[in-house]
Amino acid sequence: SDLREQQERGELLQPLIFVLLVLCSVLLYFKVSLMDPGFVKPEEEAKAGEAEGQSLVIPQATGEVKLRRCGYCLVKQPMRARHCQLCQHCVRRYDHHCPWIENCVGERNHPLFIAYLSVQLVVLLWGGHVAWSGLYFQQSWKWLQHNIFLLLSFFLIVIFTIVVLLLLVSHLYLISCNTTTWEFMSYHRISYLRHSKLENPFDQGIILNLWRFFC
């Protein structure tokens, strides 16, 4: 009867939505961590994709940029690819190797990585709100003994929320500029950026950059 009354008042809807968000976050985590981030195939299997990728990826580039052969896996790297020594593969549109998911973030899983961060941020904000609403501060040792775990949980949630928020904002900024974390951090070490007359030859405007990334 109590469950029926809570259901009629809509009090069970919020916990259900929260559980679904947590489940969605877990599924996205495993999807991003287990999927192929865009590993470069052997040269004989990738020749067709290289020509198409170059014409689409660097529409404003000036001058000829020579493709290099990877010194580790011996494949000819497409534009914006980089070898990851942890994954032992070259990754197309390499962004970074994420220790949290134990996988590279690249051409194929980068949009899902953004979706994972977004859902995770919502879960953390919701969990932080629940933890905060359960705290009733009193200046006594007995109160601290009974609420120490809730207090620690709240501070941990705050720390993780700040980390995820900073990650999400920084990635959205780089996506809006059509650049990657690797290109942003190592601009002067990358030949196709260092020899370009444009500061960012891939930038086609915020709207088009976001559209091409997500759609």
Say whether pLDDT at 173 is over 70: yes
Query: pLDDT grade, residue 102 (50/70/90)?
Result: very high
Is 11 inside any structural domain?
no
Residue 62: is it exposed, middle or buried by C-beta count within 10 angstroms (0-12/13-18/19+)?
A: exposed
| Global pTM value | 0.81
Q: What is the mean pLDDT of residues 62-82?
A: 77
Q: What is the mean pLDDT of residues 49-68?
A: 51
Say whether pLDDT at 56 is over 60: no
- DSSP letter at 35 equals S
What pLDDT is stored for residue 178 in this prediction?
Answer: 94
Is 190 inside any structural domain?
no
Q: Which residues are catalytic?
A: 98
Mean pLDDT of the residues in the chain: 82
Number of structural domains (the chain) is 1
> Domain containing 84: what range?
38-55+64-102
Contact 204, 59 (CB under 8 A): yes
